[in-house]
Structure 1
Amino acid sequence: MQTEVDDNNTAVPPTATTNTSATSTTEVQATAPGQLRVIKRNGTVVSYDDSKITVAITKAFLAVEGGTAAASSRIHETVEKLSQQVSATFKRRMPSGGTIHIEDIQDQVELALMRSGDHKVARDYVLYREERRQQREENTAAEPSKAHPTIKVSNPDGSQTPLDLGRMEIIVGEACAGLKDVDAQHIIDEALKNLYDGVPAKDVNTSLVITARTLVEKEPNYTFATSRLLLDNLRAEALPFLGIANSATQADMIALYPKALVSYIDKGIELELLAPNLRDYDLDKLGQALDASRDLQFNYLGLQTLYDRYFIHSNEVRIELPQIFFMRVAMGLAHREENREERAIEFYRLLSSFDYMSSTPTLFNAGTLRPQLSSCYLTTVPDDLHGIYGAIQDNAMLSKWAGGLGNDWTPVRALGAYIKGTNGKSQGVVPFLKVVNDTAVAVNQGGKRKGAVCAYLETWHMDIEEFVELRKNTGDDRRRTHDMNTANWVPDLFMKRVFDDGEWTLFSPNDVPDLHDLYGEAFEKAYTAYEARCKAGDFPLFKTVRAQELWRKMLGMLFETGHPWITFKDPCNIRSPQQHVGVVHSSNLCTEITLNTNKDEIAVCNLGSVNLAQHTEEGGLNLEKLEKTVKTAVRMLDNVIDINYYSVGQAEKSNMLHRPVGLGLMGFQDSLYKQHIAYGSEDAVTFADRSMEAISYFAIKSSSELAEERGSYTTFDGSLWSQGILPIDSVQKLIEERGGEAYIKVDQSQTMDWAGLRAQVQSKGMRNSNVMAIAPTATIANITGVAQSIEPTYQNLYVKSNLSGEFTVVNPHLVNDLKARGLWDNVMVNDLKYYEGSVQQIDRIPADLKAMYATAFEVEPRWIIDAASRRQKWIDQAQSLNLYIAGASGKKLDITYRMAWYSGLKTTYYLRALAATGTEKSTIDTNALNAVSSAAATPAPVEAAAGPAPVPQACSLDDPDCEACQ
């Protein structure tokens, strides 16, 4: 009598029939971190159970050797040993958990039997597996075809065939397998209502997708079913092009993925879409590492985003499938590694698990002929015509390959300044910024997303008052920039003058050239000396204003137009590890990068983000898993620097000298939900502190270990790192520069072994000058299905509109909690729609859930700033920090932004003031839910002391998520 491990990871005697149609109530996404899972042949997923391996092997031995007393003892000892070997293999391969197909388990059992010398048992096991495989094929072939009696499908060649109901049932059944509260038959029945005789073949799948997506607002798990239905469309597009199959189910992909990878690499190189060096890999080995079950992790928005904007295509035919996409990126990042296959598999597993995601440029371009993998470029524009237009050309070249741009325009002389060469007067900064704006529109990142640039100007520049009005919709349109971003680069001295109600002097930079490179006490000394010279009559061009009046104008324009963002020069420089070799003159497009720039160096930063939700359990962070993720992520980011395609020479020079990277995070809000913590609470602030401390510790440690392996970056000597001053230590430097707690208050608590890490960094060095930055992560968070970056939940139910279309977004954590309390029904859906995704006015929702599921505008800004302040102390760069303010007024903005500076933040990002918005008050039966959109409203003046004021949404790229950076 023979046996094998069946689809349930259990032993099956030869007389038993394996049930391949049973569904599991375990959803893939609900599996705890670190847990191994088993995917059955029908696509459902169950937990891995060591004991069932033991039972299977025991029955195999008993079938061959019998159950005599003499044999029993030897069998028991042998089986125990073999079972441990099999389980150890998977735990070694996937220490952070993962999904294994049933065939992989059977392969390992077979291999263990052969290696143990039990060849007769192994032989019988192999023969029995083949017998069962043939039986399954015969059963499938014997199933009668289910043709629809009236609907015929029009094929691309013009022929017509009856609609195959049998295949439709298989595809929809696969899509719904393992998902709670999802009804496959309902999808089929509703989809059939939309089909007609002669319907094109491609529209059959479209009907299924559309049907399933309309049910998402009623049951969030339908987003996974919709994604899996979309997968069928992807397979139908890619596999024939690759010459693999005309059609395939998800179960078929276990066998087809390895073949598809080989064909994909060959086709991609032939079409000049992929780098030829990808063929140097052992593609068979990489193909076997592809995990088809990870296709099931996507929600609909995530997979559709990949399809529309990331998958490589030829003549509009996508030739990538999800796991091939992740492997292509991994191969692109690993090809210079000595053990490239092993590293590629390591990188692939990290990406495809959603534990970490590289930034969009890396996902776009890794493994291609032009691997421009970096996210951000920072430049300083010189004060001469040749240099200005050279900088604009650099913008165009960098934007072409998907780089986000930050330009420092402070050196350019102001309006009315003297020009010696022509004996004339300057037109100032503004006319050039109009050209920059139009260049960003014209060069739209290779047609994949909108080009994006941010111009920075220091607050003492004579053109600052006109600069803050660049985004206004009134005035001379030739002096407006409607498509680009702007940011104030604010010195601490200006903020002190605002606090003390002092005067502020504006200069032209050609008169005060050293102010551009000064900060802290040195800036204050030089600035006040220039003010004294103005009073003495040494400067013909200057202007004195009341600091609070300029501050109000800055906040007023921020309130009205969303720009300029407010960023702080001094903390960026005082805490910079690289202050010994230069000055930070601006941030980037999304205000999280703080790197040195000058006329000879364009700063570059390479981004990626840890999915914090994947490392959080109900009791807190899984530190062991987090450390492994961060270690691999830092290695991937460091590889980007050497592999990267540099379209501008100054960028390559800078990146090779300093090797900065920016490891960030996303899914912070999801992590709070997992721990039942409200965003607006001290517990959330503490978690922000502790989670960022862990990421900081592991990132610095990983970079230091890489330095031991590969060498420190060139300019390490003299850096804060070399002095044993880590980011947490540089907080004290900022406090001292500001003169104590009169102008700053920052928590400095810590819990990890920072003394030991300081010693390691000083002895081993650092591979990267900078290692951390929290980017917006809008699109990569969409891909992984978590809340972006460090953002609170926007709304619990809304329609997201972006370049991929419109998607109903429902907060699954809220739905699960409401289900647990018997409160989730059609009435609740309608209530959420009526109240625009807010739970606060729904009486039957308990108070604890109202606190937990408060939306972004319902969380007091102080909680957002407090959490950001706790993070900032650990970060050597900055964070993209959106501020949400309901009932915005001049007083509220004033308090919020003063608090941001006082709390030691380096930068802020968008102000998202509550707009006059309207979500359609519809019933669920209409399946209509409008996207949130801004109403045409005239903003109230920012000087108003209090009271609500409707304001336009700030981000024009995507509402509510800016997708320019990631």
Structure 2
Amino acid sequence: METTLDPGKTALNTTAPKQLRVIKRGGGVAAFDASKISVAMTKAFIAVEGDNAGTSSRVRDFVAEATAQIAEAFQRRMPDGGTLHIEDIQDQVELALMRAGEQKVARAYVLYREEHARARQASGGDIQKPHPTLNVTLADGSVRPLDLGRVETLVNDACAELDNVDAKKIVDDSLKNLYDGVSLDGVATALMMTARTLVEKEPNYTYVTARLLQDNLRREALSFLGIAEEATYQEMAEFYKPAFKAYIAKGIEFEQLDPQLAEFDLERLGDALDHGRDNQFTYLGLQTLYDRYFIHRDDVRYELPQVMFMRVAMGLALNEDDREARAIEFYELLSSFDYMASTPTLFNAGTVRSQLSSCYLTTVPDQLDGIYSAIRDNALLSKWAGGLGNDWTPVRALGSYIKGTNGKSQGVVPFLKVVNDTAVAVNQGGKRKGAVCAYLETWHLDIEEFIELRKNTGDDRRRTHDMNTANWVPDLFMKRVFDDQEWTLFSPSTCPDLHDLYGAAFEKRYAEYEAMTYTGQLTLYKRVKAKDLWRKMLSMLFETGHPWVTFKDPCNLRSPQQHAGVVHSSNLCTEITLNTSADEIAVCNLGSINLSQHVVDGVFDGDKLGKTVRTAVRMLDNVIDINYYAVPQARNSNFKHRPVGLGIMGFQDALYKQGIAYASDAAVSFADTSMELVSYHAIEASSDLAAERGQYQSYDGSLWSQGILPIDSIDKLKQERGADYIEVDTSTTRDWDRIRAKLASQGMRNSNVMAIAPTATISNICGVSQSIEPTYQNLFVKSNLSGEFTVVNAHMVNDLKARGLWDEVMINDLKYYDGSLQPIDRVPDDLKARYATAFEVEPKWLVDAASRRQKWIDQAQSLNLYIAGVSGKKLDVTYRMAWYRGLKTTYYLRALSASAVEKSTVDRGRLNAVGNGSAPTPEPSAAQPAASAAPTASAGTQEARGIDDFLTGKGGSGSRAPSAGEIDELGCEACQ
């Protein structure tokens, strides 16, 4: 640009450097303008020499020459353009004056700068440390300088007592991303974004980010409640109690909270709130709570984390004699993350609509009004946040005779299309997707079409793309597969009693019906090879992820409630096994023990676990009486049987803390002993509750009443199935005779006590591994409804640090190798084994560990199976093994195609310069947290078409199995 100093004088060319820009004191950005340097210098001379200095040729010549020199200096410094701060320019003006011997003028210029700095600081009012260049816009629209002192305090608090985090770096890097007039929320966001980018290098930054997010939460809630405009972490020690009391009043006023909460001693409960527990959250955990759990009004969250836990505790203690003491006991368990209630309980406890149950199981009758009544029940139950499992086996098959119209039935499938669309239309209270799973027995004549429901090809009117499906498989079918025999498909309209039979009684009656097909007494049937149907079931499971494989007979033969009905299906997540009928909708209430919290200094603390289990069972039992029931059949069933489902999560973290690899005998042994201890204390706790509150109504005649515990019921399964078709370890370590004696004198409060749910969401809240899952990957980006989050295995990082192996090269290697340590040469074998990821653990270890747990559980467990380098043989062996080892159910199949597996064996050491001594190579552009490019298994790919002759596929359907990267997008969030 050209700058003319005087119209009457020759123009002085002070061309600005290319694209040079100036950051102004207010945070704005403007093009470099050399004339402003001339003006500032001239004002300085006038301030010393008077007004005549402005027309003095000496002054004007000096100013022109000095301005040109300063502009040229910046041009030399940044020939390709760039950005400089206004303070840099003023420093150069001051230096030019000093070099020219103009000390008086230079001094005046310095004083001028100081005077304006003081004025800017004074305009900040009560600001601790006003930023010299940035202003923030407050909620009311007013503007004031950014309080840098508070920012530094906030970040220092967030980093307190955390190793290997740098508060100064967060502040400095955040300030570079701010602009003048930014909102307070914008400042907080910049701080969080800066901290979260560092998580992959140091896992502790996830806690830093969460603590920075707390500032937003506090400002939003405290200002709404009229407590304070904002507060630091230390100030919350004082503010939590008044905020809690104001929250209760507001929540009742807004008709969101149960008015009974105001009857508690709020002073006593407020004193029990521990603001320090806010620091336990990971960023993923706290953001999940903020987005989906905290109670809000007009999109303003006015519920703080510890207030939420106390609200849930109060909601569960409403009927207790000493409500305050129990509420504090429940609060301690929840807020410490030793135990976490299920999502519906966290959503609704203490509210005006306390729908706290997780799962509902229904049986659909074979009448039109009954079918649509069941669909209506689905909608009502889904509205109030519950996962659904529907037993569709009673509904007559395609081609069955309809007496009322003298026509033929269209079968089950068209109705399932309606169920699918209902689940989409009626989500869970506007908070989460509606989720339902349909179950069909393997002898049903519609089974072949049923297992293709999730295909992406074919008649879309006979496809369900949004709901889940599951096979309800009798033992007899598995025996026919093992023995390579034929299998006959029937319609329940002609064989209705098969639905309610299991074990030897089912086998006997099934054989009778088969005999009728040969005599002509039954004409509606189809005969297939059992192995062919089995292949098709596994093929569809591989291609579409459905239907899941669940086993009817172990669910019934080991059910404590055999005298009171039949288990016709499991639930949405395959861990609940309760009786259903036309009159009873089974209900289960879930919660999970955090095993990781019960490993102290590398040792599993059984005494602590016993105390946790006792309180947890009491909380779960309370849910039954407090719960809101959307349909009467659910209330009738729940009050009659009182089932609960206490599960576990953080199993993988508990192994890490003990230095145990998942794929090891030690891990299988820990799965056994830890679940035995949970079972031991849970059964005893329910029995003690029976002594205090009374036995459940249908107790007489149950296995409990006969002194038969879950470990004992394995004998009945062996007897009915046949010893050649089952292999289960039945060893014990506890004094179970003591428990049997207690049951004989006290009975049980709950018909069922244990079930291991997926814990997809609550494990995120607690910052631990899901349920009984192995680690998905050691470094990846997790996507869910709250956004994307970098997840790094902190246990692994700490172990690598201890060996001097955690560095930028290791981070890049992990990105490139999809979070796997296996291809990285310099990692010791013991760490490779300990931190093997889900697809690197052979499925036999998953099944073995699940078998050891299952012997202690009166219900079932959500067991995902991970199979790398998938083949028909692997699928066949894995699922046969699951049945043979006595499992009741399985859940999702996570299959990784051979091409994806091979990636980790190609170009080993490319990023491994430290390990192999080669020269370092640039990081590949594709290297990134693996979830953004998670592998899929597709039947349309060459790998899928050729996985084995076992899965013929006939060219493939083009459907794909769910990728492991989608693991947090499952319907299991409906339950937990």
The DSSP-based 3-state class of the residue aligned with 2:777 is coil
Question: Does the residue aligned with 2:725 lie in a helix, a strand or coil?
Answer: coil
Q: How far apart in 2 are the matches of 1:947 and 1:933? A: 23
> Which residue matches 1:499?
482
User: Which residue number corresponds to residue 827 of structure 2?
Assistant: 845
State whether structure 2 residue 926 is matched by structure 1 residue 944. no
User: Which residue is equivalent to 1:46?
Assistant: none
Give the alignment of 1:402-481 within 5 angstroms: 402-481=385-464
Q: Following TM superposition, by how much is the alpha carbon of 1:931 offset from its aligned partner in structure 2, in angstroms?
A: 2.4
Taking the TM superposition and a 5 Å limit, the aligned residue runs for 1:799-818 are 799-818=781-800
**1:496-528 CA distance string (max 9 Å, x none):** 000000000000001001100000000000000
Question: Given the alignment, which residue of 378, 382, 390 partners 2:365?
Answer: 382
Indicate the residue corresponding to 1:797 in structure 2: 779
| Mapped contact 1:661–1:770 kept (Cα < 8 A) | yes
- Cα 1:487–1:690 change in 2 (3 A) is same
Change (3 A) 1:427 1:927: closer
1:564–1:297: structure 2 CA closer, same or farther, 3 Å change rule? same
**Deviation of residue 923 (structure 1)?**
5.5
Quick one: distance in 2 between partners of 1:900 and 1:942? 25
CA contact 2:343–2:974 (8 Å) conserved in 1: no
1:542 corresponds in structure 2 to: 525
How far apart in 1 are the matches of 2:244 and 2:265?
A: 11
Determine the C-alpha separation between the residues in 2 that align with 1:510 and 1:550.
22
Shift of 1:942: 7.6
1:490 and 2:473 matched: yes
Q: Is the 2:487–2:527 Cα contact (8 Å) retained in structure 1? A: yes
Give RMSD over aligned pairs: 2.1
Matches within 5 A, 1:355-394: 355-394=338-377
1:902 counterpart residue number: 884
CA distance in 2, matches of 1:238, 1:928: 37
**In 2, are the aligned partners of 1:552 and 1:942 still within 8 Å (CA)?**
no
Give the C-alpha shift of residue 474 in structure 1.
0.3
Q: Determine if contact 2:934/2:963 at 8 Å carries over to the other structure.
A: no
Structure 1 residue matching 2:826: 3-state secondary structure: coil
Query: What is the rounded CA distance, in whole Å, between the counterparts of 1:317 and 1:493 in structure 2?
Result: 56
2-structure distance, mates of 1:836, 1:869: 30
Contact 2:812 2:927 in 1 (8 A): no
How far residue 624 of structure 1 moved from its aligned partner, in angstroms, is: 0.8
**1:941 Cα shift?**
3.7
* Alignment-derived partner of residue 64 in structure 2: none
CA contact (8 A) 1:888 1:947 kept: no
What residue number does 1:294 align with? 277
> Contact 1:883–1:910 (CA<8 Å) still a contact in 2?
yes
Residue 767, structure 1, aligned to residue 767, structure 2? no
Structure 2: which amino acid aligns with 1:785?
Answer: G
On the 8 A contact 1:892/1:946 being kept in 2, the answer is: no
1:965 aligns with 2:975: yes
Q: Report the Cα distance in structure 2 between the residues aligned to 1:757 and 1:941, rounded to whole angstroms.
A: 53
Give the counterpart of 1:744 among 726, 734, 737.
726
Question: What is the deviation of 1:617?
Answer: 3.0
Other-structure match for 2:840 = 858
Give the equivalent residue in structure 2 for 1:124.
none
The equivalences for 1:139-538 within 5 A come to: 145-538=128-521
Further displaced range: 802-811 or 141-150: 141-150
Deviation at 1:952, TM superposition (A): 3.1
Q: Distance in 1 between matches of 2:477 and 2:859?
A: 22
Secondary structure of the residue that 1:427 maps to in structure 2?
Answer: coil
Amino acid in structure 1 at the alignment position of 2:844: R
Residue aligning to 1:931: 932
Distance 1:864 1:935, change over 3 A: closer
- Residue type of the alignment partner of 1:953: P
User: 1:181-217 deviations in whole A, cap 9, x for unaligned?
Assistant: 0000000001001001111221000000000000000
Kindly state the Cα deviation for residue 924 of structure 1 after the two structures are TM-superposed. Answer: 11
Structure 2: distance between partners of 1:924 and 1:270: 58
**Matching residue within 565, 574, 594 for 1:591:** 574
Structure 1 range deviating more: 940-949 or 711-720: 940-949
For the pair 1:872 / 2:881, whether they are aligned, the reply is: no
Answer whether contact 1:800 1:932 (CA < 8 A) is retained.
Answer: no
1:563–1:267: structure 2 CA closer, same or farther, 3 Å change rule?
Answer: same
Distance 1:724 1:379 in 2: 29
Instruction: Choose from 801, 804, 815 the match for 1:822.
Output: 804
Whether 1:710 aligns to 2:693 is yes
CA distance in 2: counterparts of 1:438 and 1:277, whole angstroms: 38
Q: Does 1:605 align with 2:593?
A: no
In the superposition, the TM-score normalised over structure 2's length comes to 0.83
2:668 pairs with one of 662, 681, 685: 685
**SS of the residue aligned with 2:136?**
strand
8 Å Cα contact 1:380/1:585 also seen in 2: yes
Aligned pairs for 1:38-53 (under 5 A) are none
How far did 1:178 drift? 0.3
Paired with 1:417 and 1:455, the residues of 2 have a C-alpha distance of: 20
**1:354 corresponds to which letter in structure 2?**
F
Contact 1:889–1:943, Cα closer than 8 Å, also in 2: yes
Instruction: Tell whether the 8 Å contact from 1:441 to 1:450 is kept in structure 2 after alignment.
Output: yes
Distance 2:521 2:928 in 1: 67
Separation in structure 1 between the aligned mates of residue 127 and residue 573 of structure 2, nearest angstrom: 58
Identical columns (%): 72
- TM-score by structure 1 length? 0.83
CA distance in structure 1 between the partners assigned to 2:807 and 2:214 by the alignment = 29
Gaps in structure 1 of 5+ consecutive residues:
1-140
Q: Paired residue for 2:627, among 644, 648, 656?
A: 644
Q: Are the structure 2 counterparts of residues 608 and 924 from structure 1 closer, same or farther at C-alpha, using a change threshold of 3 Å?
A: farther
The SS at the match of 1:665 is strand
SS in 2 for 1:311: coil
* In 1, Cα distance between equivalents of 2:418 and 2:298: 33
Q: Distance in 2 between matches of 1:942 and 1:653?
A: 52
CA distance in 2 between partners of 1:926 and 1:521 (Å): 57
**Post-superposition shift, 1:739?**
1.5
Q: 1:44 is matched with which residue? A: none
Tell me the distance in 1 between the aligned counterparts of 2:147 and 2:648: 45
1 CA distance for matches of 2:926 and 2:486?
Answer: 60
Q: Deviations over 1:843-896 (max 9, x none)?
A: 110000000000000000000000000000000000000000001111110000
Query: Quick check: 1:562–1:954 contact (8 Å CA) kept in 2?
Result: no
Find the aligned partners of 2:761 and 2:660 in 1 and give their Cα distance: 25
Provide closer, same or farther for how the CA distance between residues 933 and 546 of structure 1 changes in structure 2, counting only shifts above 3 A.
same
Is the Cα–Cα contact under 8 Å of residues 490 and 568 in structure 1 kept in the other structure?
yes
Contact residue 344 and residue 355 of structure 2 kept, 8 A:
yes
Q: Are the counterparts in 2 of residues 269 and 275 from structure 1 also a CA contact under 8 Å?
A: yes
- The 2-side partners of 1:373 and 1:333 are apart by 9
Q: Give 2:837's aligned amino acid.
A: T
Q: Distance in 1 between matches of 2:468 and 2:548?
A: 8
**Distance change in 2, residues 1:874/1:654 (3 Å):** same
Q: 1:505 to 1:653 in 2, by over 3 A?
A: same
* 1:238-278 Cα distance to aligned partner (Å, 9 max, x none): 00101100010010011111101100000000011111110
| Aligned residue number for residue 555 of structure 2 | 572
When residues 934 and 841 of structure 1 are mapped into structure 2, their CA distance, relative to the original with a 3 A threshold, is closer
Cα separation, partners in 2 of 1:222 and 1:619, compared to 1, 3 Å: closer
Runs of 4 or more above 4 Å deviation: 141-144, 915-928, 934-937, 945-951, 954-962
Residues 829 and 924, structure 1, Cα contact 8 Å, conserved in 2: no
Distance in 1 (alpha carbons) for counterparts of 2:635 and 2:851: 33
Name the CA distance, whole Å, in 2 between partners of 1:258 and 1:150: 38
| CA 583–926 in structure 1, closer or farther in 2 if over 3 Å, else same | closer
Moved more, 148-157 or 798-807: 148-157
CA positional deviation for 1:430: 0.1
Return closer, same or farther for 1:875/1:159 CA change in 2, 3 Å cut-off: same
Bigger-Rg structure (1/2): 2
Change (3 A) 1:943 1:196: closer
Q: Distance in 1 between matches of 2:599 and 2:613?
A: 14
What amino acid is aligned across from residue 205 of structure 2 in structure 1? Y
